[in-house]
Amino acid sequence: MNRLNGKVAIVTGAGRGIGAAIARAFAAEGAAVVLAELDGASAEATARAIAQAQPGARTLAVPTDVTQAASVRTAVAEAERAFGPVDVLVNNAGINVFADPLTMTDDDWRRCFAVDLDGVWNGCRAVLPGMVERRAGSIVNIASTHAFQIIPGCFPYPVAKHGVIGLTRALGIEYAPRNVRVNAIAPGYIETQLTHDWWNAQPDPEAARRVTLELPPMKRIGRPEEVAMTAVFLASDEAPFINASCITIDGGRTALHHE
d(CA 193, CA 233): 25
Active-site residue identified among 83, 157, 189, 199: 157
How, if at all, do strands 32-37 and 8-12 pair? Answer: parallel
3-state secondary structure of 39: coil
Question: Is 175 noted as a catalytic residue in this protein?
Answer: no
Q: Give the closest residue to 139 by CA, choosing from 148, 129, 152, 153.
A: 129
N- to C-terminal Cα separation, the chain: 44
* Sheet arrangement for strand 8-12: 59-63, 32-37, 8-12, 88-91, 137-142, 180-187, 246-249
Contact 182, 211 (CB under 8 A): no
Provide the annotated active-site residues.
157
